[in-house]
């Protein structure tokens, strides 16, 4: 009996996973540098990355921003319970508030998890008050981020 797992045609192999891991760490690596890190030739890396982009596995390349350099000294997460009818207005507010970095729709006790980066406690208080119109908000301030 063959116990080897069947792989779908579009599955991601180990080399592609290694490439993805390196690109998540540094999306600006050249194909040459990527090849050295994962043991592949530059043309092979270029072809793999192109296929990963075309298949939608790689959806873009993004800058990692140091919020402290932008004078945003406080990172906080706000959990929010709201009604389904408020969903679109809440998303609109999230898009218009500059200190909202991420917004996630959740299952469980809370409806949304919103990541905020603000310059201080007064700004945090102002932002929280903007969202209270949608329901109960619970906010936690980040002390440190040992893994990002």
| pLDDT tens readout for residues 11-45 | 789 999 999 999 999 999 999 999 999 999 999 99
CB count within 10 Å of CB 128 equals: 18
Q: Which CATH number fits domain 67-141: 3.30.830.10, 3.40.50.1220, 3.40.50.300, 3.30.70.920?
A: 3.30.70.920
Cα distance between residue 98 and residue 127, in whole Å? 10
Bridge partners, residue 77, by sequence: 115, 140
Bridge partners, residue 117, by sequence: 75
Cα distance between residue 108 and residue 139, in whole Å? 17
Bridge partners, residue 72, by sequence: none
User: How would CATH label the architecture of 14-54?
Assistant: Orthogonal Bundle (1.10)
Q: Where are the alpha helices (DSSP H) in the chain?
A: 14-25, 31-38, 42-54, 87-96, 121-131
Structural contact between residues 101 and 117, judged by C-beta atoms closer than 8 angstroms: yes
User: Which pLDDT belongs to residue 2?
Assistant: 45
In this predicted model, what pLDDT tens digit does every residue of 103-127 receive, in sequence order? 999 999 999 999 999 999 999 999 9
pTM score, two decimals? 0.73
Give me the residue spans of the domains in the chain. Answer: 14-54, 67-141
> Environment class of residue 131 by beta-carbon count within 10 Å: exposed (0-12), middle (13-18) or buried (19+)?
buried
Query: Does 14-54 match 67-141 in CATH topology?
Result: no
Cα distance between residue 38 and residue 16, in whole Å? 9
CA 1 to chain centre: 42
């Amino acid at each position: 009996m063959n116990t080897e797992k069947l792989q779908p045609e579009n599955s991601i192999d180990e080399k592609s996973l290694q490439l993805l891991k390196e690109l998540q760490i540094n999306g600006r690596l050249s194909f040459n540098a990527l090849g050295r890190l994962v043991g592949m030739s530059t043309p092979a890396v270029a072809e793999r990355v192109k296929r990963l982009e075309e298949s939608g596995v790689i959806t873009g390349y993004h800058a990692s921003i140091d919020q402290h350099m932008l004078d945003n000294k406080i990172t906080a997460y706000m959990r929010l319970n709201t009604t389904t009818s408020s969903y679109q207005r809440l998303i609109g507010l999230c898009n218009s508030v500059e200190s909202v970095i991420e917004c996630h729709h959740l299952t469980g006790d809370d409806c949304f998890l919103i990541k905020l980066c603000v310059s201080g406690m007064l700004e945090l208080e102002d932002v929280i008050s903007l969202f209270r119109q949608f329901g109960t908000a619970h906010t936690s301030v980040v002390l440190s981020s040992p893994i990002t």
